[in-house]
Amino acid sequence: MSTSKPRILVTRGIFQSVIDRLSEHFDVESNPEDVLWDRDELLRRLQDKVGVFSTGTERIDAALLAQCPDLRICANMTVGYNNFDLSAMSAAGVLGTNAPDVLTETTADFGFALLLATARRVTESEHFLRAGQWTRWSYDMFSGAEVHGTTLGIIGMGRIGQAIARRAAFGFGMQVVYHNRSRLDAATEAACKASYVSKQALLQSADHVMLVVPYSAASHHTMGAAELSVMKPTATLINLARGGIVDDAALAKALRERTIAAAGLDVFEGEPRVHPDLLTVPNVVLTPHIASATPGTRQAMADLAVDNLIGYLVQGKAVTPLNPEVLSRA
């Protein structure tokens, strides 16, 4: 009888504790040098694997699955899973899992970091200071937008949107309006002091707009030129969600022409590339997709992916399955 362990692939550099835990159950091929494998390389390495620990950027689609007949589970360490073609995975009997909840509060904190930095012109003024341009105090130097007591519009009112709403309402005395595919129940609305409005009403009334909507074909360019033109000229836009939710070229134009005041972006279309026009406008704060990046939260996200791999491949059940129909067929 063969005693060999099932083989799994870890696609990117990750905590050693992740490799150690997985190695108790599996024969693990990892990527300690954190090399960015192209699609062919990923396919080659997936050949004899039953599971993959993924980081949200590896595209798992019908073409890949057709060439990986042994694969049974893809476990993202991210809450976003727009790298998965879930219907192709279900058709191939491959389970997809993500890492919700464990990053909610950390990501909401970062939403506020970006909002405050953007509205109060923190990075723009720091660049000015570092460049040696600060020679005197003046009454209107880097005067920014008020945050407390203003209206925050949240598009996408899932767990992270709700955590942002609570901070806004109870911490900053903001009025919170939201738009979502479906309206929250009354108790949840009351818990985050948020009112449901149409997208148009939100864009017209909000002093600050925060995007926390998951990426899908339906949410592609949720904010394009038409939507940006409805926002107040004094308003700020924050994208914490995914690249592609905002039309970055249209946003750069709006920022350059000051049809909106400023933007704070943690995610970009085609990242890690950034639209060149965004790099040359001063009224934008740019961060490299770090909203969930604290050691504790990234560890918790990675641990949840490990729980899913061990749970499914060893015990036949996953903690956060995205296509649970696969479980009943396993």
Sign of CA dihedral 277, 282, 285, 289: positive
323 lies in the binding site for ligand DGY (CB under 6 A): no
Applying CB under 6 A, which of residues 103, 163, 238, 274 lies at the interface with ligand DGY? 103
The nearer residue to ligand DGY, 56 or 244, going by C-beta atoms, is: 56
65 lies in the binding site for ligand DGY (CB under 6 A): no
Q: Shortest CA distance to 56 belongs to which of 36, 38, 75?
A: 75
Is residue 271 annotated as part of the catalytic site, yes or no? yes
Closest approach of ligand DGY to the CB of residue 309, in Å: 17
80 lies in the binding site for ligand DGY (CB under 6 A): yes
Q: Shortest CA distance to 99 belongs to which of 35, 9, 159?
A: 159
56 lies in the binding site for ligand DGY (CB under 6 A): yes
Q: Interaction with ligand DGY in 255-314: which residues (CB under 6 A)?
A: 292
The nearer residue to ligand DGY, 270 or 276, going by C-beta atoms, is: 270
Residues 242, 269, 275, 298: which is the catalytic one?
Answer: 242
Is residue 242 annotated as part of the catalytic site, yes or no? yes
CB under 6 A: which stretch of 22-30, 73-81, 190-198, 272-280 binds ligand DGY? Answer: 73-81
322 lies in the binding site for ligand DGY (CB under 6 A): no
For ligand DGY (CB under 6 A), the number of binding residues is: 6
Is residue 289 annotated as part of the catalytic site, yes or no? yes
CB under 6 A: which stretch of 76-84, 117-125, 191-199, 204-212 binds ligand DGY? Answer: 76-84
Residue type, 157: M
Are the beta carbons of 247 and 224 closer than 8 angstroms?
A: yes
96 lies in the binding site for ligand DGY (CB under 6 A): no
CB under 6 A: which stretch of 77-85, 108-116, 127-135, 173-181 binds ligand DGY? Answer: 77-85
Residues 29, 105, 124, 271: which is the catalytic one?
Answer: 271
Q: Shortest CA distance to 160 belongs to which of 208, 100, 116?
A: 100
The nearer residue to ligand DGY, 116 or 293, going by C-beta atoms, is: 293
The nearer residue to ligand DGY, 150 or 222, going by C-beta atoms, is: 222
Q: Which residues bind ligand DGY (CB under 6 A)?
A: 56, 78-80, 103, 292
**Catalytic residue list:** 242, 271, 289
